Amino acid sequence: MSSRYGGKIRKILTFTLAASLTVGLLAGCNSADKGKDSKEEKVLRIGMLHGSNDDSWFRQQYTDIYEFNNNVRIEIVPAVDSSEYRYRDYSQEQYVQPDYFEGMKKLMTSNNPVDIVIADTGTLKRLADENLLKPLDPMIQEDKFDTSDFVPAVIDTLKDISGDNKLYGLSPTFSSSALYFNKKIFLDAGIEPPTDGMTWDEVFDKARQVTKGEGKDRVYGFSFNRYLGSEPYWDMQNHYISTLQLRMFDEKAEVMTVNTPQWQRIWETISKLAKDKIIPSSSNMNMDEYYSEENYSPISGDMFLSGKLAMMISESYYINEIVEANNNADKIKNFSPVDWDVVTMPVHPEKPGIGGNIWIGNTFSINSTAPNAETAWDFIKFVNGEDFAKLRSRSNSYEMVSRKSFITPKAGETYNVEAFYQLKPTPPLSITEEKMMVEMPGLYGITNSGGPHFREVLENKKTPEEALKEWEEKGNKMLLELKKNPKTQFNDDGTPYEMH
């Protein structure tokens, strides 16, 4: 993990250096001219959901270039100081999720309010609902700021913040998932490789056709992720069930809703794939075979790079890891470069065109009472403009730029890059649901409590119908506890958490 983080920082520093070398280009843009005409230094305050004293990472990415070209000093203020939680003794106190929304609200309504707000879409949705954000549409129209080049899925996600089809924020970057596949495995099997727009059932059918081998030599047809020993229960929550928007409990969090024919079909489908060893899981693999000293290599925990997966789901930044491994193939024991490509995420027939997750990068919004709203909009135009996108697209970033014109395959690679932004994203939670999850953090324990029941299905101890009925009964007891005390949290077995 530390090496990946270090690599990310090095890439950001490279981007910063490249950007600094192009200040001559940026100095000619409107925002720079506008800033340099002012003799008085302006102060632009940016509120972030969380942070600490070290804001160098964010500054290197976004603010250093703007400050260099404009007579503006940028202050970065966190709504929640993350360092505080690092030093707490959680053996003596129960962890309580910080209230980021209230923290940001205070920053925006204080005597010295922030001008710009950077937050996740859920928090921005609540801020917009309370009229704390300035709609950007009038400024976009007045300045003729072109948003037509933005990836539709990004714009759609941002418009979903308000529910009134208005833009309350813009994000220069995003990441998403796609279906990666190993070309050689399909070629050797004489099976047509996957294509854009396939349904989940079509993907699972292909997975059965290309699965082969036994033990550590087995090639699995599909996996929800690339990691060795993954758990199908969690994987199907994140990718398969999320796009169906299937509920575990009702909108008031009073009654469980998992004991239904649709839930039973899902558990039957995924558990059968695991029991037939079409998808890998810790329950159908001998982990010792993979972790033995003789089999170890830098990519031994990655089943796709190890050639053990015909298809799998991963994020857009995984391309960096494939390229790096292939470029260093001669240094990796028993490794051959992977011949790969990507297609769109599988879809459910009842949710056509909606495929999986999209993660919006830093989203920049303007406080409705911002003291320096004009400068705030100028900064937002800059980080979401074409010049910034052009520079950012050249870096080996873990995100893609939101402007389609600058989304291209990495140098020397050829792959279906459009697969990452063709489909519509899964609709977000409603404002009511967002509030409910914050006010009752124990609701996350409902999801956790389903894991043991699904494992009983994998172990042939229970049928999906029996397991879901038991989960329903347990979940209803948990919901009753939450009704008595909304701050109750739970152990993995569903029992209330007690401090010792």
How far from 240 is each of 42, 245, 304, 446, 467, CA to CA, in Å?
A: 49, 9, 20, 18, 19
- pLDDT 10s digits, 450-487: 999 999 999 999 999 999 999 999 999 999 999 999 98
Question: How many beta carbons lie within 10 A of that of residue 266, not counting itself?
Answer: 20
Asked whether residue 8 carries a pLDDT value surpassing 90, the answer given is no
The mean per-residue pLDDT over the stretch 425-446 comes to: 85
The mean per-residue pLDDT over the stretch 385-389 comes to: 95
Q: What is the pLDDT of residue 27?
A: 41
Asked whether residue 347 carries a pLDDT value surpassing 80, the answer given is yes
Of 96-100, 186-190, 245-249, 422-426, the least confident: 96-100
Asked whether residue 321 carries a pLDDT value surpassing 90, the answer given is yes
**Nearest one of 342, 376, 347, 397 to 14, comparing CA atoms:** 397
Q: What is the pLDDT of residue 93?
A: 60
The mean per-residue pLDDT over the stretch 275-284 comes to: 88
Of 6-15, 27-36, 112-121, 344-353, the least confident: 6-15
Q: What is the pLDDT of residue 288?
A: 63
Q: What is the pLDDT of residue 23?
A: 40
What's the whole-number average pLDDT of the chain? 86
Domains in the chain, ordered, with CATH? 2-172+361-407 (3.40.190.10)
Question: Using CA atoms, how far apart are residues 341 and 194, in angstroms rounded to an integer?
Answer: 10
User: pTM (2 decimals)?
Assistant: 0.86
Asked whether residue 15 carries a pLDDT value surpassing 50, the answer given is no
Q: What is the pLDDT of residue 32?
A: 42
The mean per-residue pLDDT over the stretch 324-343 comes to: 93
